[in-house]
Amino acid sequence: MGWRHLLFENWPVDPDVVSPHVPDALELEEHDGSAWLSVVPFTNVAVRPTGVPRSFGIRLPELNLRTYVTRGGVPSVYFFSLDAQGVSSVIGARLFYHLPYYYARISLSPEDDRIRFKSRRRHPGARPACYEGTYRPSGEPFSAPDDPLGEFLVERYRFYTQAQDGSIRYTDVDHEPWTLYPAEAEIETNTLLSAHGFERPAADPVYHYSPGLDVTTSRSERA
């Protein structure tokens, strides 16, 4: 698949705020004494099984809420939620990847020099969650591995989730290192944090933008 037009909206928070929401089998990872919550709007492109031509792939706008963990010393991502546009894709990801996907109505479109993103969760039985705003790059590009905070936030090649049976699952991802830009964002609505039991952090968020990269993922495995 390809990940395109990503905004990384990142808040430093007290580790005690996040740790109760992370399974005991995972260790919350800190940077400069803080845990971090990140909201990431973007779109997937050309999502398909390995070996299938790009032209048969599907487009899938998505919105993630995540934090940063380790297990066995491997820096990883832990997902609290993944909202996505496609009903069949949401069902497939829940069944085969044990990911906490929620069906949502999502749009991502260029607007002048910005990207406009809108998401409204429509998943039956789920707590409502809305996110709407615009964002754009606002500075010179840099390689994430050359920046300590950028590397911490995005250079992670494994993600974890907790399945319905309580087991911990992981998936490995493979892609080139990230190129990031400083970013500006005007977020008009964000109830994603409160939908998952988090108050809005007092600190201002740190914004990064990426035009994207291509990604291959492994199968989901039991940790």
Q: What is the pLDDT of residue 86?
A: 72
Give the DSSP letter string of 123-167: -TTSPP-EEEEEEEE-S--EEGGGSHHHHHHH---EEEEE-TTS-
pLDDT of residue 175: 97
Q: How far is CA 28 from CA 15, 34, 108, 120, 213, in A?
A: 8, 10, 31, 29, 26
- Mean pLDDT along residues 77-102: 79
Residue 70, class by beta-carbon neighbours within 10 Å (0-12 exposed, 13-18 middle, 19+ buried)?
middle
Residue with tokens 């919350």: 28
The domain spans of the chain are: 2-222
Q: For position 153, what pLDDT does the model report?
A: 98
- Over 90: is that where the pLDDT of 52 sits? no
This prediction has a pTM of: 0.94
Residue 193 has what pLDDT? 97
Q: Indicate the SS3 state at residue 32.
A: coil
CATH number for the domain whose boundaries are 2-222 = 2.40.400.10
The label of the residue with tokens 């490995």 reads 172
Dist CA 135 CA 122 (whole Å): 24
Q: Are 78 and 159 in contact (CB under 8 A)?
A: yes
Roughly how many angstroms between the first and final C-alpha of the chain, as a whole number?
A: 24
* Mean pLDDT of all residues belonging to the chain: 93
Contact status, residue 103 vs residue 92, Cβ threshold 8 Å: no
